[in-house]
Amino acid sequence: MMRRRSVLFSVVRPWLCSLLLAGSVVTFSGCRKAAVDRYNPTITTTISASDPAVFVRSENDSQPWYRELQVVLEKQAADEKDLNAKIEQKRPEVTEASTKLLVELDRMIQAEKNANDKWSALTLTLGKGRKQGEILFSADVGLTRLYAKRPAIAFNDLPLELCVAKLARESGLHESQPRGYNPTVNWGKTDVSAAEAYEGVLRSHGFEHKFTDTLHRVALRLQDYSSRKEFLDAAVEQIKAKGKLLNSARPAVQVWPIEKAPQPEASDKKTAPAPAKRAD
């Protein structure tokens, strides 16, 4: 009889342990209060052609390589309305040429990136500068883990201090935050970056934040380069240089409460009239 019980227990015990273990997993999963999904390591760079530069052609126009990236007028516009009409007429072809240049640049950047790089080119933009005809290029180079989209980020009844720490840990940041006032956070969003989660959580709970060593900007003037290739090579090198800084940086986030402006105290007392001057 004892032997039969021993055999039965030896058969049931592994199944029972598995059942208990599965129950534990379910229990812990149900109690999880922070869910920060893994980021997408491949960021799709945002490419945009903003308002185009306008150039009025002259008799000695040398037709430089970037002329197709400008709205070229044969003569000065009669007025602002006439100018806007001419810009809108030629905007599609300038936008197409600008986008083509930025797409080519994006491919060159991706080809130069290393699998271990911590950075990505977040944006590539081309548009007019302050001077007439001036074309400016800008690029935002950021920390991939912070700015890449994640399927979902959610916090359920979690102290704000732990939300900040969790996002920092998942983004590779060092965090600095005040202790004390620590509101409970219930917040969630899909298709969101850790940077956007910081903004959404902190602002709605009365806190501000600042990132350091997480984002750099490249700005170049196309007129400074004698050929398309020279510009593209320079842009790639500048972006890689900013990326190299991010690879070796010590990125951080600093959090602090938003200071409320002091409100004047209400008073029912009327202001006493100024004393009359004494007659001599």
- Please provide the DSSP assignment of 204-258 as one string: HTTEEEEEESSEEEEEEEGGG-SSHHHHHHHHHHHHHHHHHHHHH---EEEEEEP
The pLDDT, as a whole number, for residue 28 is: 33
User: What sign for the dihedral angle of Cα 162, 164, 170, 172?
Assistant: negative
User: What does the alpha-carbon distance between residue 168 and residue 194 come to, in Å, rounded to a whole number?
Assistant: 8
Question: Average pLDDT in the 75-96 region?
Answer: 93
User: What does the alpha-carbon distance between residue 85 and residue 91 come to, in Å, rounded to a whole number?
Assistant: 10
106-110, 207-211, 255-259, 262-266: which has the minimum mean pLDDT?
Answer: 262-266
Does residue 28 belong to any structural domain of this protein?
A: no
The pLDDT, as a whole number, for residue 260 is: 55
Task: Show the domain range for 54.
Answer: 46-140+215-247
Cβ neighbours of residue 161 closer than 8 Å, sequence gap 6 or more: 177, 179, 182
With a cut of 70, say whether residue 15 has pLDDT above it. no
Phi, psi (degrees; rounded to nearest 5) at 131: -85, 155
The pLDDT, as a whole number, for residue 170 is: 97
Does residue 107 belong to any structural domain of this protein?
A: yes
Does residue 159 belong to any structural domain of this protein?
A: no
**Could you identify the residue written with the tokens 């709205």?**
71
Phi, psi (degrees; rounded to nearest 5) at 53: -75, 150
Does residue 199 belong to any structural domain of this protein?
A: no
On the CB side of 168, CA atoms within 13 Å amount to 21
- In the chain, how many domains are there? 1
With a cut of 80, say whether residue 87 has pLDDT above it. yes
User: What does the alpha-carbon distance between residue 44 and residue 122 come to, in Å, rounded to a whole number?
Assistant: 7
Q: E strands within the chain?
A: 34-36, 46-49, 53-56, 70-73, 119-128, 135-143, 149-159, 174-176, 184-193, 207-212, 215-221, 252-257
Give the predicted TM-score (pTM) of the model: 0.78
Does residue 123 belong to any structural domain of this protein?
A: yes
Cβ neighbours of residue 78 closer than 8 Å, sequence gap 6 or more: none
First to last CA, the chain: 125
Burial class (CB in 10 A: 0-12, 13-18, 19+), 22: exposed
On the CB side of 174, CA atoms within 13 Å amount to 6
On the CB side of 32, CA atoms within 13 Å amount to 12
Does residue 51 belong to any structural domain of this protein?
A: yes
Q: How far is CA 1 from the centre of its chain?
A: 70
Instruction: Read off the pLDDT of residues 88-105 as tens digits, 9 standing for 90 and up.
Output: 999 999 999 999 999 999
Cβ neighbours of residue 186 closer than 8 Å, sequence gap 6 or more: 155, 156, 157
Instruction: Read off the pLDDT of residues 225-277 as tens digits, 9 standing for 90 and up.
Output: 999 999 999 999 999 999 999 999 999 999 999 875 445 555 444 444 444 44
Instruction: Read off the pLDDT of residues 145-177 as tens digits, 9 standing for 90 and up.
Output: 999 999 999 999 999 999 999 999 999 999 999
Does residue 170 belong to any structural domain of this protein?
A: no
Does residue 1 belong to any structural domain of this protein?
A: no
User: What does the alpha-carbon distance between residue 63 and residue 31 come to, in Å, rounded to a whole number?
Assistant: 67
Three-state secondary-structure class, residue 134? coil
